[in-house]
A and B are shown apart, each in its own frame.
Chain A
């Protein structure tokens, strides 16, 4: 069965430090992969997506993610986080007519 795993429930980083949020998926075919961000009490905003081509994809707000088929991973990175990046981040894979979601990683920024 298709699944998405985000192994880190919370991550705390200092402002200005680099960030990597992990995402592993289980999917039989070539996946369509997404990262969404949710600020408190808000809807979800698409950060970036992968469905073919270059395995390193650039998104909004300075985020990027790398698709590694051999590791079944799609980790999200940012070289230098800002306090405004504090939010919850969700990884998802598109399976037919629905998204399979990870449980989310809450990013906490230390001043």
Chain B
């Protein structure tokens, strides 16, 4: 069966420090992968999506970047975190044909 793993679950980082959040998918190949951010009390904002290895589309300009070094691995990064990067980050992969998306359990990032 297909599963999605996201870690860490929580992270507290100082301003200016780097960031690396990892997401991996099992049980499928060539998935469409997504990074979303959810700020407190707000909906989900699509940050990046990837349809294949090395293919990254960015939805909003920001302090973050994404990479897809392997078929089932999607990484969210920053060289220097800002306070405004705090939020709840969710990785997801898309089933084919409108069958929906499966989300990871999320990472709560607090930048201090």
Contacts and interface: CB of A to CB of B under 8 A. Distances in A.
Interface in A9-61: 32, 34, 36, 41-46, 49, 51
Given A90-B44, A104-B43, A97 B49 contact: yes
Contact of A98 (B34, B98, B103): B34
Contacts of A67: none
Contact of A49 (B34, B90, B92, B100): B100
Which label, helix, strand, loop or mixed, suits the secondary structure of the B interface? strand
Contact of B98 (A41, A94, A102): A94
B43 A97 contact: no
A108 interface: no
Classify chain A's interface size: 20 to 34
- The interface size bin for chain B is 20 to 34
A101 B44 contact: yes
Given A41-B108, A97-B51, A46 B102 contact: yes
A46 B94 CA distance: 12
B73 interface: no
Contact of A43 (B43, B51, B59, B90): B90
B106 A103 contact: no
Contacts of B97: 51
Contacts of B32: 97
A34 B101 CA distance: 9
A99 interface: yes
Nearest to A4: B43
For A34, A44, A51, A97, the residue with the greatest tally of chain B CB atoms inside 10 Å of its CB is A44
B106 A43 contact: yes
18 contacts: A34-B101, A41-B106, A42-B105, A43-B6, A43-B90, A43-B104, A43-B105, A45-B103, A49-B98, A51-B97, A90-B43, A90-B44, A94-B98, A97-B57, A98-B34, A98-B49, A99-B44, A99-B101
Interface of A: 32, 34, 36, 41-46, 49, 51, 90, 94, 97-99, 101-104
